[in-house]
Amino acid sequence: MAFKITLQPSGHGFDAPADEPILQAALDAGFNLPYGCRNGACGTCKGKVLEGHVDFGIAQEHALPLAERAGGMALFCCAKPLSDLVLEVKEIGAIKDIPVKIMPCRVQHLEKLADDVMLMTLKLPTNERLQFLAGQYIEFLLKDGKRRAFSLANAPHDDELLQLHVRFIPGGTFTDHVFHAMHEKEILRFEGPHGSFFLREDSDKPIILLAGGTGFAPIKGIVEHAIHNKITRPMTLYWGARNHAGIYLPELPQQWAAAHPHIEYVPVLSDPDAADGWNGRTGLVHEAVLADFADLSGYQVYACGAPAMIEAAKRDFVVRGLPEGEFYADIFSFAAPAPVAKA
């Protein structure tokens, strides 16, 4: 059984199953409501029930005192509908609505995806979640005062653990630690979310996704977010690497393309090894886009990778008609002296 939920003051509406928290139903329907812990402990998702009745769920009294319950307040991360509802809640409509936090985390899992790429999985404290937009990044706060930034590779709906794809950078102090000394259960601190690299959902234009190396990480988050929210705009993903080992999760984009007719996947190798037996596309990844699209005037482009790739792609795509305002980029820089270096 499902109930009709109406949000005020926006007037947005969606259906919520009776056995599912209102927050989850809203996120599944594509509406961003504020949240922090998702388990009734922090109060970030608090809003008012203007009409209807809810099961308050596991809301903890310090986060939702009895007097507030009596006044119609509820925690939407754990409240479930018992009838049709009209709720007063502020929706998140832009980056400015998402708070940037400094949080501790524990290294939950480390897994080599390639000789020089590590999947780092982070777990937050029990009563914490990080709200973010797909494609954004976090910055680790190191003991020497420096910061290291990494894009989130998971989509917001899959936020129980945070995923990062860390490339080993020779001479990089932090990545050297990740690959050679870091252990599971190690405690780190980070600040986030940061960045304006996220899917613009108010457009219906087809999308070109351009990833170089571990630039695939935020692209992965964006694609999984789009799939989860049933966004069916045509998407063509180009993933470029030097050799086949650089395409470190080869089956995943293949699965996306096989399961979703609106998604196309094109891997591109710039310098394949003879042992790769590669018979796919070769050359610079942005040039593969140019070979496939004579006119980019009706597209959006989301590009993530090294500065040279981003600069060349923007320059050449604009020549092909892409409006400059429809080119969204996240540049991975590895210069150790920089205050924020993705290394």
Residue 149 structure tokens: 């930034």
Residue-level pLDDT at 161:
96
Q: Is residue 220 part of a domain?
A: yes
Q: Indicate whether 238 and 308 sit together in one domain.
A: yes
Residue-level pLDDT at 255:
98
- What letter represents residue 279's amino acid? N
CATH number at residue 281: 3.40.50.80
Q: Is residue 186 part of a domain?
A: yes
Count of CB atoms situated within 10 Å of the CB of 155:
22
pLDDT tens sequence for the chain (343 residues): 899 999 999 999 999 999 999 998 998 887 888 887 788 877 889 999 999 999 999 999 988 999 999 999 999 999 999 999 999 998 877 677 788 999 999 999 999 999 999 999 999 998 888 999 999 999 999 998 889 999 999 999 999 999 999 999 998 899 999 999 999 999 999 999 988 889 998 899 999 999 999 999 999 999 999 999 999 999 999 999 999 999 999 999 999 999 999 999 999 999 998 888 899 999 999 999 999 999 999 999 999 999 899 999 999 999 999 999 999 999 886 544 334 445 4
Q: Indicate whether 6 and 67 sit together in one domain.
A: yes
Q: Is residue 201 part of a domain?
A: no
Residue-level pLDDT at 232:
96
Q: Indicate whether 175 and 87 sit together in one domain.
A: no
Q: Is residue 42 part of a domain?
A: yes
C-beta of residue 240 within 8 angstroms of C-beta of residue 270 = yes
Residue-level pLDDT at 338:
39
Which domain does 47 fall in, by range? 2-93
Q: Is residue 176 part of a domain?
A: yes
Helix (H, G, I), strand (E, B) or coil at 49: strand
pTM assigned to the model: 0.81
Q: Indicate whether 71 and 89 sit together in one domain.
A: yes
CATH number at residue 15: 3.10.20.30
Q: Indicate whether 72 and 131 sit together in one domain.
A: no
Instruction: Choose one of 93, 122, 149: the last residue of a domain.
Output: 93
Q: Is residue 185 part of a domain?
A: yes
Phi, psi of 95 (to 5 degrees): -55, -40
Total of domains in the chain: 3
Residue-level pLDDT at 341:
47
Instruction: Compute the distance between CA of residue 148 and CA of residue 336 in angstroms, rounded to an integer.
Output: 9
Q: Indicate whether 156 and 175 sit together in one domain.
A: yes
Instruction: Choose one of 162, 194, 226: the last residue of a domain.
Output: 194
Reduced 3-state DSSP string for 137-151: EEEEECCCCCEEEEE
Q: Is residue 202 part of a domain?
A: no
Q: Indicate whether 45 and 29 sit together in one domain.
A: yes
Residue-level pLDDT at 333:
67
Instruction: Compute the distance between CA of residue 343 and CA of residue 113 in angstroms, rounded to an integer.
Output: 17
What 8-state DSSP symbol labels residue 99?
P
C-beta of residue 301 within 8 angstroms of C-beta of residue 328 = yes
Residue 237 structure tokens: 């993903």
Residue-level pLDDT at 66:
94
Helix (H, G, I), strand (E, B) or coil at 176: helix
Q: Indicate whether 82 and 138 sit together in one domain.
A: no
Longest dimension (CA), the chain: 71
C-beta of residue 56 within 8 angstroms of C-beta of residue 46 = no
Q: Indicate whether 177 and 159 sit together in one domain.
A: yes
CATH number at residue 152: 2.40.30.10
Residue-level pLDDT at 335:
41
Q: Is residue 338 part of a domain?
A: no
Q: Indicate whether 161 and 260 sit together in one domain.
A: no
Sequence-ordered alpha helix ranges (H) in the chain: 22-28, 66-70, 173-180, 216-228, 251-259, 285-292, 307-319
